[in-house]
């Protein structure tokens, strides 16, 4: 009939949408000339039958209904996308007693079991915040351990003594996890922040014992004598600092009102972690020091060597 596909497309674009055809200038301003059909003539699917296109061969108007056919079918009202990919969003509310991390892991396992590795799984809203915070907290925990170890290594001028001190960190973490279990709380973002705090709170007890033992060794005492006297002398300061730290966290447990659950979790982590690490530090640190310190030298051993050399030269 002398009607091209391009001409049908332009007609549909003009009558059912709009098309910019040219511009004109009036009093120094340029205006667009836009063609579009009347709104009341493009409200139902049958309105397309009232549209005509002109034949390029006979120059006559041909009804569009003679050229195209209409097929009705069901489709989604909107096609959701996430990160520039077609996406299906699952939203749900957790039942009491279930953790967000367990729910996300359960859904991921079902998806992989049914669909394999083809779909890309991503998170939105509270789930995304949970996943991002968990990943960042693991990185922060590892970085904190590294920074504390390097600072202690510079302070003690040894890589052995910081290792002895940081043996208390796993004890504090174990105490925190045990406290969360007994209190019926979960391992969430707030409890992970509390565990991050325990790195410094637990290491301070070992620092008190190891530092004083090193001072006694500088005075000429053996490793066994130094660690025994250091443990006895530093018992009171260790208990005082630990008890004061635990008491300072009691208001977090007794708090009420908005945000009380998050403060309660942090308080449980601090109290249980500090309590267990303090009790076991009084035994673990002396044992570890007695086993590892024999491979280290005192901080003033160079001065002793110089003094001995001066005595030999004077004699």
List average pLDDT for each run of 10 residues in the chain, which is 315 residues long.
85 85 91 88 78 84 83 79 82 80 85 84 83 77 86 83 83 85 77 83 84 83 85 87 86 78 83 86 84 74 67 72
Of the candidates 121, 96, 124, the residue with the CA atom closest to the CA atom of residue 110: 121
Measured over all CA atoms, what is the biggest interatomic distance in the chain, rounded to whole angstroms? Answer: 129
Q: What is the pLDDT of residue 121?
A: 85
3-class secondary-structure state, position 263: helix
Domains recognised in the chain with CATH numbers: 5-66 (3.30.2090.10), 81-115 (no CATH), 126-310 (1.20.1640.10)
Give the pLDDT confidence score for residue 160 in this predicted structure. 83
Residues facing residue 86 across a β-bridge: 81
Q: Return the pLDDT at 31.
A: 93
Q: What is the pLDDT of residue 224?
A: 85
Instruction: Give the whole-angstrom CA distance, residue 217 versus residue 157.
Output: 15
| Cα–Cα dist 230/217, whole Å | 10
Residue 301: per-residue pLDDT: 62
Q: What is the pLDDT of residue 30?
A: 93
**C-beta atoms surrounding 308 within 10 Å:** 10
């Amino acid at each position: 009939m002398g009607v091209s596909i391009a001409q049908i497309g332009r007609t549909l674009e003009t009558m059912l949408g709009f098309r910019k055809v040219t511009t004109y200038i009036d009093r120094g301003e340029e205006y667009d000339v836009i063609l579009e059909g009347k709104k009341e003539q493009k409200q139902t699917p049958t309105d397309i039958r009232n549209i005509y296109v002109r034949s390029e061969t006979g120059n006559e108007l041909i009804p569009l209904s003679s050229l195209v056919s209409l097929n009705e079918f069901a489709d989604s009202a909107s096609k959701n996308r996430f990160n520039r990919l077609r996406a299906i969003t699952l939203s749900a509310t957790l039942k009491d007693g279930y953790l967000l991390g367990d729910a996300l892991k359960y859904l991921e396992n079902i998806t992989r079991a049914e669909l394999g590795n083809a779909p890309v799984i991503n998170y939105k809203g509270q789930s995304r915040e949970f996943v991002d915070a968990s990943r960042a907290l693991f990185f922060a925990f590892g970085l904190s351990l590294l920074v504390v170890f390097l600072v202690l290594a510079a302070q003690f001028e040894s890589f052995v003594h910081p290792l002895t001190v940081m043996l208390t960190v796993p004890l504090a973490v174990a105490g925190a996890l045990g406290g969360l279990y007994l209190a019926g709380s979960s391992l969430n973002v707030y409890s992970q922040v509390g565990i991050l705090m325990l790195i410094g709170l637990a290491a301070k007890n070992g620092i008190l014992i190891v530092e004083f033992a090193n001072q006694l060794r500088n005075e000429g005492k053996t490793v066994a004598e130094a660690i025994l006297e250091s443990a006895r002398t530093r018992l009171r300061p260790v208990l005082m600092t630990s008890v004061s730290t635990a008491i300072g966290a009691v208001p977090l447990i007794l708090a009420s009102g908005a945000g009380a659950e998050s403060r309660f979790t942090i308080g449980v982590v601090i109290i249980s972690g500090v309590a267990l690490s303090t009790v076991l530090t009084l035994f673990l640190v002396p044992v570890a020091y007695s086993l590892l310190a024999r491979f280290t030298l005192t901080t003033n051993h160079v001065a002793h060597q110089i003094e001995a050399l001066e005595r030999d030269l004077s004699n």
